Structure 1
Amino acid sequence: MNLQHWISLFTEQVRQTSIAEWIAVAFAVTEVLLARKNKILLYPAGIISTLITSYLMFSVLLYAESLLNLYYLVMSIYGWMHWVKKKHEPPVPVSYTTRKEWNIVIAIVAGGWLTLYLALKHFTPSTTPVWDSWVSCTAWAGMWLLAKRKVENWVLLNISNLFAVPLLFHKELPLMACLTIFLFIVAIAGFFDWKKMVVRNNLPSSGSFSGEPASA
């Protein structure tokens, strides 16, 4: 397909995009920008985006994608609760992933990929079960690390984004592909921002964590 085709397809998709889709995209962008700044409001933004996206996927009979978004909803609620500063307790600091947590990440990716692949292969008319499953399971692991406030969450999320972009173009969804490219770029910046937070937190003069997770 030539460039003119993609420009025409992109323009047509923009014209046909519903208000609900625009709202979902807007809150998804807001979520990742707030995540980069280590702000707890990323979670309510993500919850709104996830609820709308889940409804949209269900309405077009993409039941597996709808269920995946419900997983994101659960992880967003869990992450929100995990980030909230409890009374008389310090907030959860940004940190690097431990060996034990990496084992969990590997289990999420491997188990999630196998489960999704088998489900898509045998119970749906999916034409890209291997690729689709990989994009989803790496995003699952990234969301879990985000909830734990681990620097490497950006790495897992960008692995998912990296494979999602060509998949979305293959499915002739250029608008969503462009959004994913934007999220990929922001995630790179977020990775380096969070690394700087870890350095600041470990300085002798820094005292307790300064990320202020409950701030807006």
Structure 2
Amino acid sequence: MIEFLFSQYNDYSTTAIILEIVGVLFGLASVWFAKKDNILVFPTGIVSTTIFIYLLWQWELLGDLIINCYYSIMSVYGWYHWSRKKGDEIQFPIASISRIEKIWSCVIFVLTIIAVVVIYDFFDKFTTWYSYVDTLTTGLFFVGMWLMAKRKIEHWIFWIIGDVISVPLYFSKGYTFTSIQYLIFTIIAIFGYIEWKKHLNKNQQKL
């Protein structure tokens, strides 16, 4: 079983393995803080995405690299957005997506897929089935990150769908630790949605 799961790492450098594990741990911490509606989701996420930007460049996984670059940028925006207050009150608490945000979510999803397809085609990366799946997960995660930065509960739905797809996707690529990370992400995201839903319902009852 161990050989089946981790034989892919036989040719990896110790540095790359350690960096992947550290990136995974900070990624898990980030999702856990997101579940708790804690602003530490962003600094921990930045550490994880920075590590994976380096690794994904080495692995030549352009779609995933683009996702992590975008995560880093949106984490800075989200960090600022979540920290804004009016007096002692949080200016942008947990909320549901608005109609205009639904439209923008669709626009971001479509434009992201088009951009990834163009990039993959330019670099002739459509050589395996998971290159095509990458285009879908990139679109899902771009929308999910945008909604999370805006503190919208629906971001969890995009995370869950993207995480479920990513579990077998990363395993097939040979990155077992990252695959396990996405499996745990899925579980945390489900509970995160439930916890945010309770919080949202509680706030709505106060109004």
TM-score by length of 2: 0.88
Q: Which amino acid aligns with 1:40?
A: I
Q: Shift of the alpha carbon at 1:165? A: 1.8
User: Which residues of 2 match residues 65-214 of structure 1 at below 5 A?
Assistant: 65-86=64-85, 88=87, 90-91=89-90, 92-126=92-126, 127=128, 128-204=130-206
The share of aligned pairs that are identical, in percent, is 31
Q: Shift of the alpha carbon at 1:64? A: 4.3
TM-score by length of 1: 0.84
Q: Shift of the alpha carbon at 1:98? A: 1.1
Q: Which amino acid aligns with 1:137?
A: G
Q: Shift of the alpha carbon at 1:142? A: 0.3
Contact 2:24/2:177, CA 8 A, preserved across alignment:
no
1:25 — aligned with what?
24
What secondary structure, in the 3-state scheme, does the structure 2 residue paired with 1:203 have? Answer: helix
Contact 2:166/2:179, CA 8 A, preserved across alignment:
yes
Q: Shift of the alpha carbon at 1:81? A: 0.4
Q: Please list every run of 5 or more consecutive structure 2 residues that lacks an aligned counterpart in the other structure.
A: none
Distance in 1 separating the partners of 2:155 and 2:165? 16
Q: 1:10 aligns with which of 5, 8, 18?
A: 5
What secondary structure, in the 3-state scheme, does the structure 1 residue paired with 2:153 have? Answer: coil
Q: Shift of the alpha carbon at 1:166? A: 2.4
Map Cα deviations across residues 166-211 of structure 1 (whole Å, 9 max, x no partner).
222332333322211110011000001000111111223xx7xxxx
Q: Which amino acid aligns with 1:30?
A: A
Contact 1:117/1:129, CA 8 A, preserved across alignment:
no
Map Cα deviations across residues 37-72 of structure 1 (whole Å, 9 max, x no partner).
000011000001111111111233334433331111
Q: Please list every run of 5 or more consecutive structure 1 residues that lacks an aligned counterpart in the other structure.
A: 208-216
What secondary structure, in the 3-state scheme, does the structure 1 residue paired with 2:89 have? Answer: coil
Aligned structure 1 segments of 4 or more residues deviating by more than 6 angstroms: none
2:53 — aligned with what?
54
Q: Which amino acid aligns with 1:18?
A: I
Q: Indicate the RMSD between aligned Cα atoms, in angstroms.
A: 2.0
CA distance 1:114–1:203, change in 2 (3 Å): same
Q: Which amino acid aligns with 2:142?
A: W
CA distance 1:14–1:189, change in 2 (3 Å): farther
User: 88-97 vs 121-130, which deviates more?
Assistant: 121-130
Q: Which amino acid aligns with 2:5?
A: F
Contact 1:31/1:43, CA 8 A, preserved across alignment:
yes
Matched pairs, number: 200
Q: Which amino acid aligns with 1:56?
A: L
Map Cα deviations across residues 151-174 of structure 1 (whole Å, 9 max, x no partner).
110001111112212222332333
